[in-house]
Amino acid sequence: MEYRRIKDQEKDGNGDGSGVVVAVADDIESLRAGKPISGSNVAKLGANAFDRSKWQQKSIVTLALTVLTSSQAILIVWSKRAGKYEYSVTTANFMVETLKCVLSLAALSRIWGSEGVTEDNRLSTTYDEVIVYPIPAALYLVKNLLQYYIFAYVDAPGYQILKNFNIISTGILYRIILKKKLSEIQWAAFILLCAGCTTAQLNSNSDHVLQTPFQGWLMAIIMALLSGFAGVYTEAIIKKRPSRNVNVQNFWLYVFGMAFNAIAMMIQDFDAIANKGFFHGYSFITVLMILNHALSGIAVSMVLKYADNIVKVYSTSVAMLLTAIVSVFLFGFHLSLAFFLGSTVVSVAVYLHSIGKLQR
C-alpha cells in the first residue's frame, strides 16, 4: 500500500493529467467505503479545471489576433488611392483609439450588470496606477503613424519582411525589462522564426531580398523598437495587478491614446480637417481598416493579459504566412518554394519555442 501511495504521488507531479485520474479513482473508492472525499483531491480537480479554462482563453485570443493581424497590411494598402491616402491618417488613428475605448466600456457595462461594481472592475483609480499609461500610449502613437508612412518606401511584402525586426527586439526587451530568462532553445527559435518569415516572403524573381531605401530601413528599425518596448511595457503594467479587470486597464490606456492622437491631429492635419471635414477621404475599406485595428489592439491586450509578448510575436508571425495564403485567393498570389520552406522553418520554430519553454 505504501508503494502504491508513492507511485500515485509521482503520477500527480507528471503534469499529464494522470494524477487527476488517480484522484478520481481514490474518491470513488472512498465513497464506496462511506468515507468523505479528500480536500486535496478536490483542489487538484479545481486547479485542473482552472488551467483548462485559462488555456482556452489563451487559445481564443491568440487565434483572434492571428486572423486580425493577417489582414492589416492588406487593408492599409487597399485604403490608398492612386498611391496616397486621401483620408487623414491621424483621424484614422484617433477613431481606432475611440472605438477601442467604446468597446472596453461596453464590455465593462456587461460585467457591471452581471457581477456588479467591484474593487477590480471599477473605473475610479489612483494616480499611481494611471500615471504609467501615457508612456505606452505615446509609443503606440508614433509606431502607428510610422506604420502608414513606411508604405511610401516599401510594398506590402517588403513591409512584412521588415516587420520581422520586431521578433528580435521583443525577445531582447522581454529579457531586459521583465527580467524573464529565455532558454537557449527559445533564442534559437527566435532566430529561426525571423529567418523563416523572411524566407517565406522572398521574391524569387529578384536577386535582392529588398530594394528599400535608407528611410524605409530606418523607419522599420524604429517601428520594431517602439513596438517591442511598448508591448513589453504594457505587459508589465497589465500584469502588475493580475486581478484588475483588463477592460479597465484598456480603458485608461486608450483614453491617453485618444488624447495623444488628438494632439497629433491638431499639429499635423488641423487645416485639412477644418476645410474638408473630419471624415474626408474615408471609404468602406477605411472603415474596415479602423475596425480591424481596433479589434487587433484589444486582442493584443488580451494576449498580454492571459499569455505574454512571446505568444504575441509568434501569433503575428504566423499571421504573415496566413496573409500569403489568403492572397492566393484574393490576388492570384503563387506559392513559391521559398514560401513552403519558410513555412516549414516557422513551424519548427514554434515547436522549438514550446519545447524550450518547458525546459526553461
- pLDDT tens track, the chain, 360 positions: 443 444 444 444 444 444 444 444 444 444 445 545 455 544 444 555 555 666 666 677 777 777 787 777 778 878 888 778 889 999 999 999 999 999 999 999 999 988 888 888 898 888 888 899 999 999 989 988 888 888 777 766 667 667 767 777 877 887 787 777 778 888 888 888 778 777 776 766 665 555 567 788 888 888 888 888 888 888 888 888 888 888 999 999 999 999 999 999 999 888 889 999 999 999 999 999 999 999 988 888 887 777 666 777 667 667 766 776 776 776 666 667 777 787 788 778 777 876 776 555
User: The domain containing residue 64 runs over which residues?
Assistant: 2-358
The residues that bridge with 81 in the sheet, in sequence order, are 84
Burial level of 289, CB count in 10 A (0-12/13-18/19+)?
buried
Number of domains, the chain: 1
Distance CA 135, CA 329 (A): 40
Q: Give the cell for residue 164.
A: 520581422
Q: Kindly report the pTM of this predicted structure.
A: 0.70
DSSP 124: -
DSSP H/E element including 279: none
